[in-house]
Amino acid sequence: MSQVNTQLAYILHKRFYRETSQIIEVFSRDHGRLSLMSRGSRGSKSRISGHLQLFSPLLLGWQGKGSMPYLRTVERADIKPPVLPRQSLLSAMYINELLIYLVHKHDVQSGIFDYYHQCLYALQNSTQIEIELRKFEIKMLALLGFGLQLEHDADSGKKILAAQNYHYYVEHGPVACNELKVNQPTVGRITKQESKPVYSISSPFIQGRTLLALLKEDYALIQRDRQQLQQLKHLMRYIIHTHLGGRPLKSRELFLTP
């Protein structure tokens, strides 16, 4: 019987189970992502239902063998929880969706956990939402082993030039292009791993200076330029789309303005 005490963790998702129980998806610092069964934690009589909220740092204890241990203890962690303004909540939900689909269960990812923790605090400032999301996506992918290639042109091997435009290909890298063919189809280019080269989003192009700013982790520079921010967003959307195997993200619908 394995037992874990006071583990710093966030709840990513909750689903109701039977009358008063719920299954919670947890992202913990030292044990990775896992599902816990929380018995009797719903309803007005439960003392812990107020604690079991998303985006709040908790100290959890659990016990049990198998794939779904039982939640034993819940405490608020002794740090001030992030107070997310309403505008940031949908973005934070998007991050949770990314984590659930991209981080495998029981894969200990303390680095990603720390970035998640930082990102939630950064989202308290609703003017920073967009750049913070990009920062988290890039760092998370890097820690998962899908980091971006930012130094060299993947075809010629030359250094990235600030004034040059590039096409970015997943698992290949940036390739210099002279004409801006925004809607150039990706078919044929990404051949190795893509047996079904059907994409709704085409391989995006990006300016050299954006790549160089990313290399230096100078996010403030990108944030100042609307166009760069937009290009980076399309690039990350394309890369994440590929790593998700084309699975659509439901939280994206929340950002479509009808």
Partner 1 sequence: MMSPLLQQLIEALKCLPGVGPKSAQRMAFHLLERDRNGASELAVALQQAVANIGHCERCRTLSETPLCGICASPSRDDSKLCVIETPADVYAIEHIGEFRGRYFILMGHLSPLDGIGPTELGLDKLDKQLAAGQVEELILATNPTVEGEATAHYISTMAARHGVLATRIAHGVPLGGELEFIDSGTLAHAFSGRQRLLS
Report if residue 96 touches partner 1, rule: CB under 8 A.
yes
What value does the CA radius of gyration of the chain take, rounded to a whole number of Å?
21
Stretch that binds partner 1, among 29-37, 87-95, 173-181, 233-241 (CB under 8 A): 87-95
By CB under 8 A, is residue 100 in contact with partner 1? Answer: yes
Amino acid identity of residue 52, one-letter, is L
User: Cα-flanking dihedrals φ and ψ of residue 125, to 5°?
Assistant: -95, 105
Residue in the block written with tokens 């950064």: 122
- Please give the structure tokens belonging to residue 10: 């966030």
Q: How far is the CB of 249 from partner 1 (least distance, A)?
A: 7
Contact yes or no for 47/39 (Cβ under 8 A): no
Q: Smallest distance from the beta carbon of 50 to partner 1, in angstroms?
A: 4
Cβ at position 253, least distance to partner 1 in Å: 4
Which two structure tokens, joined as six digits, stand for 45? 């009589």
247 lines the binding site for partner 1 (CB under 8 A): no
Q: Tokens at residue 178, please? A: 């002279």
Residues 4-63 that bind partner 1 (CB under 8 A): 12-13, 15, 18-19, 25, 50-51, 53-56
Return the SS3 of 10.
Answer: strand
8 A C-beta contact, residue 32 and residue 103: yes
The answer to whether 103 and 65 are in contact (CB under 8 A) is: no
Least separation, in Å, of the C-beta of 139 and partner 1? 21
Count of residues interacting with partner 1 (CB under 8 A): 30
Nearer to partner 1, 140 or 148 (CB): 140
Task: Supply the DSSP symbol for 226.
Answer: H
Residues that bind partner 1 (CB under 8 A): 12-13, 15, 18-19, 25, 50-51, 53-56, 76, 81, 83, 86-87, 89-90, 93-94, 96-97, 100, 249-251, 253-254, 258
